[in-house]
Every structure is written in structure tokens, then in C-alpha cells.
């Protein structure tokens, strides 16, 4: 199966070479790697170009955008810029961050999952972060969720869900829409990806409010947002984030911001979320 990888990158000179090295050491190489250099002020572009000179399937795309780093919109806009520079000859498309080290068998294993079942729409491993010289699971989400740092999509699934949404919550809505269209989402615990930069390390307080807005735009409603906000704040060991998340939700609701999904999809999402909550409680 042919697979293309698009990597949005902003000021990643510290990590991008490690990410690209890990991709070049894969047991099955990607057909294309496109790095979208999004307004970096460091040597990110220079490093990628050095790799591209030696590997014809690696290319660099330049993009200029606002320097403010908000989760979701900025990274997906960069990803979408990368999409403009690929052809249609892929079976799998991958969105990857520029601060990862993939295990050598990562994409060989991903492909085997896709080949095993034609109804599998998305596959991914798990993110691990380093603490005191040891690597631990970055436990911010449930184990049936694929982290936004590394998402692999079957082409038909990717097209049916309408690609990726340039907004915070994109890496949740994609999976919910997969389920809406009856695609399977597969996570593989054997695939441990080293995440070199903690999630949200560059986010400001405005970004914290965006999380609550994202819950609103997913169609969660108040009660599910309350539960999801509390759960996420506790997982991050920052209980006061709960207030930011709920403020973001109410601000979005009062502004009547457009949802990321249709009313039919929002109804499905709420039903699915309640089902998951009840499963955990009972």
C-alpha cells in the first residue's frame, strides 16, 4: 500500500532531524514525505532541505501564517497546504508531527492492520514522553483514541469524512465521523512513538479556552462537556483548567459558533459519548 506523510513544522530544528531519521529507518518506506515549514524562524527549512537532497521522496513546502500558535487550526491549515502538493496515488495518508521518533516497524505494522480488514479507516500507536531518562505513556486520552500527533487514514475513509477540520477538536471529530460512517478505528499498543515535546507546551491561555469551544463545536452539549472538561483537566493534573474549558464552552455557545458537524452527526456523537460514559460507570 502506498502511503504519503504530511508533516506540519514550526520552529522544529531541535527535533525534525530525529523524526525524519526515524522515517528513513522504517522497514517499509513512505512513498512521499512532505514537510510544510510554517513560518519557522529557525533552521527547520535548512535541515529538511538537507534530507531532501539525499532522498527524492522528501520535499519541503513553505507556508506563511500568523506566528500565534493555537491548537488545531494552524497545524491543519499547514497540513492542507501539504495536500495541495500530493497526487492521488496513495492508499494511506498520514498526518504526523515534527517532534516524533517512530519505531522502525511502525508503518509496516500500520499497513498490515489496513490490509487485514477493509473496514478499518484509521490506525495509530501510542505516544510516550520522557521523564528522568525513562519513557512513559502520555496518558491524556482513552486507549481507543489515536493521538493527533500521528494519524494514518485509509484514503476512502479520509475522503468520506471530508478530510481534516482546521479547528481545535479536529483529532476527535475525525474519529467520531469515522464511527458515524461505520469505519473502524484501530489502536496498537505495541507501537510506541516517542513524543519529544509535551502536548500543549507552546499553548497560551487563549488556547485553553479553545478546548471548551471545541467541545461545543463537536455538539457535546453542556453535560458531556462538563464531564469531558473535568476528566481532561484531572488527566493533565491541572484542575483549574476545568474553569477555562467551561468558559470556552459558554463563550462559544453564546456566540452561536458554527458546529464542526451536522445536526445528525452531533446527535450520533452525543449518543455515542453517553454510551461510552455508561460503559465506564457500569
pTM: 0.89
pLDDT on residue 72: 65
122 and 151 Cβ atoms separated by less than 8 Å: yes
pLDDT on residue 93: 98
113 and 188 Cβ atoms separated by less than 8 Å: yes
Place of cell 487485514: 116
Count of alpha carbons within 13 angstroms of residue 149, beta-carbon side: 24
pLDDT on residue 18: 98
pLDDT on residue 260: 93
What's the gap between Cα 228 and its chain centre? 18
CATH topology for the 3-195 domain: Spore Coat Polysaccharide Biosynthesis Protein SpsA; Chain A (3.90.550)
**Average pLDDT for runs of 10 along the chain of length 282:** 96 96 98 96 96 97 71 86 96 97 98 98 95 86 87 98 93 96 97 84 64 92 94 88 94 92 96 89 75
Helices (H), the chain: 16-24, 44-54, 73-83, 106-116, 155-160, 170-180, 205-217, 221-235, 241-254, 263-281
Structural domain boundaries of the chain? 3-195, 205-281
Amino acid at each position: 500500500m502506498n502511503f504519503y506523510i504530511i508533516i506540519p513544522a514550526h520552529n522544529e530544528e531541535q527535533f525534525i532531524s530525529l523524526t525524519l531519521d526515524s522515517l528513513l529507518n522504517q522497514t517499509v518506506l513512505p512513498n512521499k514525505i512532505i514537510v510544510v515549514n510554517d513560518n519557522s524562524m529557525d533552521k527547520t527549512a535548512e535541515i529538511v532541505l538537507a534530507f531532501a537532497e539525499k532522498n527524492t521522496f522528501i520535499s519541503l513546502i513553505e507556508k506563511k501564517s500568523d506566528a500565534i500558535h493555537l491548537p488545531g487550526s494552524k497545524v491543519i491549515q499547514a497540513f492542507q497546504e501539504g495536500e495541495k502538493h500530493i497526487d492521488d496515488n496513495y492508499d494511506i495518508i498520514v498526518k504526523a508531527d515534527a517532534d516524533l521518533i517512530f519505531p522502525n516497524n511502525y508503518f509496516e505494522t500500520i499497513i498490515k492492520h489496513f490490509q487485514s480488514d477493509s473496514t478499518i479507516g484509521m490506525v495509530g500507536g501510542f505516544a510516550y514522553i520522557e521523564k528522568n531518562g525513562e519513557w512513559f505513556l502520555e496518558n491524556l486520552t482513552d486507549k481507543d483514541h489515536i493521538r493527533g500527533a500521528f494519524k494514518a487514514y485509509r484514503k476512502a475513509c479520509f475522503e468520506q469524512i471530508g478530510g481534516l477540520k482546521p479547528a481545535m477538536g479536529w483529532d476527535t471529530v475525525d474519529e467520531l465521523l469515522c464511527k458515524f460512517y461505520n469505519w473502524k478505528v484501530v489502536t496498537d499498543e505495541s507501537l510506541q512513538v516517542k513524543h519529544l515535546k509535551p502536548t500543549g507546551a507552546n499553548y497560551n491561555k487563549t488556547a485553553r479556552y479553545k478546548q471548551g469551544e471545541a467541545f461545543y463545536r463537536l455538539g457535546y452539549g453542556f453535560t458531556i462537556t462538563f464531564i469531558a472538561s473535568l476528566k481532561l483537566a484531572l488527566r493533565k493534573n491541572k484542575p483549574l483548567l476545568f474553569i477555562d474549558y467551561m468558559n470556552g464552552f459558554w463563550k462559544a455557545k453564546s456566540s452561536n459558533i458554527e458546529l464542526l458537524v451536522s445536526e445528525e452527526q452531533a446527535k450520533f456523537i452525543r449518543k455515542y459519548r453517553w454510551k461510552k460514559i455508561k460503559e465506564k460507570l457500569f
